[in-house]
Amino acid sequence: MLKLAGVVILYHPDVSKTLENMASYAHQLDKLYIIDNSEPACFERSIAFSSFNVTVEYIANGVNEGISKRLNQAAHKAIEEGYDFLLTMDQDSCFEVGVFEKYKALVNEHLLSNENRNLKVAQFGVNSDPKHIHISEQHIITNNLITSGTILNLSIFKKVGDFDENLFIDFVDVEYSLRAAYLGYQNWILPNVIMKHSLGFLKMGRSLFNFKKTPRILHAPIRVYYMVRNGWYMLFKVKQINKQERKAILLNHMKLLKNDFIYNDQLGKVYAYALLGTYHFFIHKMGKK
């Protein structure tokens, strides 16, 4: 494989768990950028990352700069330092032993095969939801990759352009995927590469239809703000790909929010932030809240 760097973006993580997660893939990289959005920074600069067996650059200024700006920061650093691909990871994502090695090998195989030589793959992604994505050897073309676990083709990144910093967080990955596809590139999921990934926090909630209790994914009210505001942005401002596909992707993401509007322990704040997010979109206030 060509030279592979990686970036993981942190925000007030469980430090020991995050170190364990990073160790599941760091040793397979040529360099790892650890970018800390925590306020203040969560790691001492003297911390030893030597167990990762990779060059680590820890970047922290005690300010939450969001996801899109930090991804751009890492991508441009990687390009300047001569890397060809960039693995993008969340702090709460990891791989089982041997899985990331398999991932690298599969990407390399696709890049070198005669059959795929003329394909322009902007991003390779993983299966973070094996309950709903069938495990198979055949790749899936999608316009809905998640950031975590994605291997970004930096030569194509230079043509597609930066991640949209208007979004700050939420839908950053979807907007980039749509833009890449609009420009004639492909985004692939490799369904037989499984990654462990957390979304929000879980709470048991009773169904309004069958009254059974099941785990529900919930979010902090500030995340509801970004999901609502950026959802409007995706629907009305992002012109790549047809509106019907954008609506389908948006609907799929917004389904996550229905649990917050019913089961969240901070319902008042959830509705207030949803209304604020809508208002801010219509007065063109984007970026950080």
DSSP string, 141-183: E-S---STTEEEEHHHHHHH----TTSSSSSHHHHHHHHHHHT
Q: Residue 175 is encoded by which pair of tokens?
A: 């907007």
b/e map 76-104, b = 16+ CB within 10 Å: ebbbeeebbbbbbbbbbbbbeeebbeebb
pLDDT at residue 201 in the model: 57
Q: What is the pLDDT along the chain (289 residues), one digit of tens a residue?
A: 679 999 999 999 998 899 999 999 999 999 999 999 999 888 765 566 777 889 999 999 899 999 999 999 999 999 999 999 999 999 999 999 999 999 999 999 888 775 666 679 999 999 998 988 989 999 999 988 999 999 999 999 999 999 999 999 999 999 999 999 999 999 999 999 999 987 655 555 555 555 566 666 788 999 999 999 999 998 888 776 667 777 777 777 777 788 899 888 999 999 999 999 999 999 999 999 9
Contact between residue 253 and residue 231 where contact means Cβ atoms under 8 Å apart = yes
pLDDT at residue 215 in the model: 65
User: In this structure, what is the dihedral angle of CA atoms 52, 53, 57, 62, given to the nearest 10 degrees?
Assistant: 20
pLDDT at residue 230 in the model: 94
pLDDT at residue 132 in the model: 84
* Domain locations in the chain as residue ranges: 4-194, 201-282
Closest CA to 196 of 133, 98, 127, 102: 127
Q: Residue 77 is encoded by which pair of tokens?
A: 């650093």
pLDDT at residue 50 in the model: 72
Separation of alpha carbons 266 and 127, rounded Å = 31
Closest CA to 123 of 83, 76, 157, 165: 157
Q: Residue 214 is encoded by which pair of tokens?
A: 């099941």
Helical (H) or strand (E) element with 221: helix 221-236
Cross-strand partners of 152: 86, 123
pLDDT at residue 173 in the model: 94
pLDDT at residue 96 in the model: 96
What pTM was estimated for this model as a whole? 0.92
Q: What is the dihedral sign for C-alpha 11, 17, 20, 21?
A: negative
**CATH code of domain 4-194:** 3.90.550.60
Separation of alpha carbons 282 and 275, rounded Å = 11
Contact between residue 67 and residue 169 where contact means Cβ atoms under 8 Å apart = yes
Separation of alpha carbons 7 and 114, rounded Å = 30
